[in-house]
Structure 1
Amino acid sequence: MDTITSGNAAALWVGLHVFLMLTLSLLVVRLRQKHKVALGDEGIPELARAIRAFGNASEYIPTALMAIVVLAVVEAPPLAIHVAGFVLFSGRLIHAVGLSNSGGASIPRAIGMVATWIAYIFMGVALLFYAIA
């Protein structure tokens, strides 16, 4: 068996995040169909939360995936990419579940955001390290 490369690691996490985004999108579509809402949320809290869960993921995931891809390009160790991808994916999933269940502050939302920020910091430091190393 060949060894796992940085590109393989990045492909795994990019692929998983693509499916997370697809799932969040499908949840919005399902609720729009259920409530017969074409645009906006029409004041339906469940739909508003689903829209925000997708929107929040859309705000954080693309930048992080660019960082993961660049880490692969600079041949960061696959383990570093797996750590970044796992922490980010876990954070985004936990945050989406928390937001889908409650529009207010919640432990899952807080844990999800902290994990996302930790992944961002880890990737930012790693990218700067490879930029100057």
Structure 2
Amino acid sequence: MPELEVTTFTAAICGLIYLVLSYRVSQVRLSERISLGDGGHADLMARTRAHANFGEYVPIILILIALIEFETGYSVALGIVSAIFILARIAHAIGMGRPSPNKLRVSGIVGTWAALAGLSVWALVLAVRTI
């Protein structure tokens, strides 16, 4: 059975980033005493969306990385796409706390979409090739 090194590393880093994003939301919730929603607090809204957006993209990316790595084994190319995705998610999270539009948020979006598109096409090629 493959060891799925890229998948494991990517999941571990994403888990740590998610923990940081969760903590950042909790900081504002506690300091502003906001239990549910955002209470009209702009910083909490931005942090909540950065956290949620991260949680929306990470599962499908991890699934694609795992399926590709399971099919092809470890590859430097897969590691590079993973690194692009991780850096893009960090840039997006930082950019969410800044006035829009900003370079960090835009580069985070573009990097995330590029990783998603590349991995999706790669997985599709692998799937079609085995039919």
Tell me, yes or no, whether TM beats 0.5: yes
Q: Secondary structure at the match of 2:39?
A: coil
Residues 87 and 115, structure 1, Cα contact 8 Å, conserved in 2: yes
In the alignment, the residues of structure 1 paired with residue 66 and residue 19 of structure 2 have an alpha-carbon distance, to the nearest angstrom, of 20
Q: Secondary structure at the match of 1:62?
A: helix
**Residue aligning to 1:124:** 120
**Residue aligning to 2:41:** 44
Q: Any stretches of 5+ residues in structure 2 without a counterpart? A: none
Among 2, 5, 9, the residue aligned to 1:8: 5
Q: Secondary structure at the match of 2:4?
A: helix
**Residue aligning to 1:113:** 109
Query: Post-superposition, which runs of at least 4 consecutive aligned residues in structure 1 deviate over 3 A?
Result: none
In the alignment, the residues of structure 2 paired with residue 132 and residue 70 of structure 1 have an alpha-carbon distance, to the nearest angstrom, of 14
**Fraction of identical pairs, as percent:** 25
Give the count of matched residue pairs. Answer: 128
CA RMSD of aligned residues (A): 1.5
Residues 27 and 50, structure 1, Cα contact 8 Å, conserved in 2: yes
Cα separation, partners in 2 of 1:76 and 1:124, compared to 1, 3 Å: farther
Q: Secondary structure at the match of 1:69?
A: helix
TM-score by length of 2: 0.90
| Deviation for aligned residue 1:6 | 6.1
In the alignment, the residues of structure 2 paired with residue 123 and residue 41 of structure 1 have an alpha-carbon distance, to the nearest angstrom, of 34
Letter in 1 for 2:113: W
Cα separation, partners in 2 of 1:65 and 1:27, compared to 1, 3 Å: same
